[in-house]
Amino acid sequence: MAMLEVKDLQVYYGMIHAIKGVSFHVNEGEIIALIGANGAGKTTILHTITGLLTPKGGQVMFEGKDITKTPAHKIVELGMAHVPEGRRVFAQLSVYQNLKMGAYTRSDKNEIEESLEMVYKRFPRLEERKNQMAGTLSGGEQQMLAMGRALMSKPRIILMDEPSMGLSPILVNEIFDIIQSVSASGTTVLLVEQNAKKALAIADRAYVLETGKISLDGNAKDLLNDDSIKKAYLGE
C-alpha cells in the first residue's frame, strides 16, 4: 500500500478547473518529485493534500486513511508536514520560537527537546542564530528554518514547495543535500520544484504536471535523459 495516494483529484478556483483528474502515489521512503512549469498546478496539489484547499472531486489517502475532508491541523497530527512556498516563517518570532511552533501537535517535552537537538545538528546555523528574529535571516536561512520547523512535528512524510526558489546556486546545492539527508533518516519526501534538473537528480520517481494534468511519469533518472523533458524543463 502506498503511504500517500492521490486519486482523480479535481480542484477548481471559482470557475477555473485547476487540477483535472490527477492521480499519483508516494511509497514509504521515496523522494518523489512533482515538476512542471509555473502555473501548472503543483502548489494547488500540495495545498489540497494538506487540507488547505478542498477538492471538488477525487480522494487523498494517507496511510490507508481517507483525509480528503480532514482539516489541515489534524493532517499535521497524522504525520504530514508542509514546507510552503516562500518559506512563511514567523518573522516577529525568534528562530527558537519558530521551531517550537513546529512541535505544537506534540506534548512530550523530552521528545521535543530531542527533535530540537536533531534540527540544530542538521542546521548548525539555526543554533547559532536561535535568539535572532526570523525576519532578519537570509533567504537560505529562512528556508532552513522552514524545513527545521516542519521536522519538529516528527513527520512521516514532508511536502516541500519550491525549496530552492530565489536561492544562490551554492545554497541550492546545500538545500538539496539536506533534502537527501532528511530522506536518508527515514522521512518520505514529496518535492515540488521548478529546478527540474536538481529535483530529478535526487528523486526516485517523478511526475510531470502540465496545466492541471499529469503528462508523464516514471523513474527520475530516465526522465532526466528524456528528450522532451530536456527540451521543456532542462533548457537543453
* Domain termination site, one of 115, 138, 154: 154
For the stretch 75-95, pLDDT in tens is 999 999 999 887 789 999 999
Instruction: Please indicate, yes or no, if residue 160 is contained in any of the structural domains.
Output: yes
What SS3 state is found at 13? strand
Tell me, yes or no, whether 2 and 73 share the same domain.
yes
CA distance 232 to 236: 8
Please check whether residues 176 and 148 belong to one and the same domain: no
Whether residues 168 and 229 share a domain: the answer is yes
Q: What is the pLDDT of residue 68?
A: 96
What pLDDT shows up at residue 96?
Answer: 95
The answer as to whether 143 is a domain residue is yes
Same domain, yes or no: 38 and 97: no
Residue 85: name the closest of 119, 124, 43 by CA: 43
User: Could you tell me the maximum CA-CA distance found in the chain, to the nearest angstrom?
Assistant: 52
Asked, for residue 121, whether it belongs to a domain, the answer is: yes
The residue range of the domain holding 147 is: 89-154
Question: Are residues 100 and 34 part of one domain?
Answer: no
141 and 164 share one domain: no
Is 16 contained in some domain?
Answer: yes
In the listed set 108, 126, 154, which residue is the last one of a domain according to the structure? 154
pLDDT of residue 232: 79
Q: Has residue 59 been placed in a domain?
A: yes
Pinpoint the alpha helices (H) of 16-94. 42-49, 72-78
Does one domain contain both 73 and 169? yes
Span 160-204, pLDDT tens digits:
999 998 888 888 998 999 999 999 989 999 999 988 999 999 999
Q: How many domains does the chain have?
A: 2
221 and 185 share one domain: yes
Quick one: 138 and 236 in the same domain?
no
In a domain, 174, yes or no: yes
What was the pLDDT predicted at 236? 56
Q: How far apart are CA 58 and CA 38, in angstroms?
A: 23
Whole-angstrom CA distances from 215 to 112, 203, 220, 223 are: 42, 18, 14, 12
pLDDT recorded at residue 107: 83
Q: Indicate which CATH number applies to the domain containing 44.
A: 3.40.50.300
Regions of the chain where pLDDT drops below 50 = none
Grid coordinates given for 210: 502540465
Flag whether 84 is in a domain. no
Neighbour tally for 105: CB within 10 Å: 15
Please name the residues in contact with 230: beta carbons below 8 A apart, sequence gap of 6 or more.
Answer: 236
Specify the 3-state DSSP secondary structure of 141.
helix
> Which grid cell sits at 217?
511519469
Backbone angles phi, psi at 157, to 5 degrees: -140, 140
Q: Do 124 and 8 share a structural domain?
A: no
> CA-to-CA distance for 119 and 111, rounded, in angstroms?
12
**186 inside domain:** yes
Q: What is the pTM of this model?
A: 0.91
Domain stops at, among 154, 179, 195 = 154
The whole-number pLDDT of residue 229 equals: 82
Whether residue 202 is found in the same domain as residue 93: no
Question: Are residues 109 and 219 part of one domain?
Answer: no
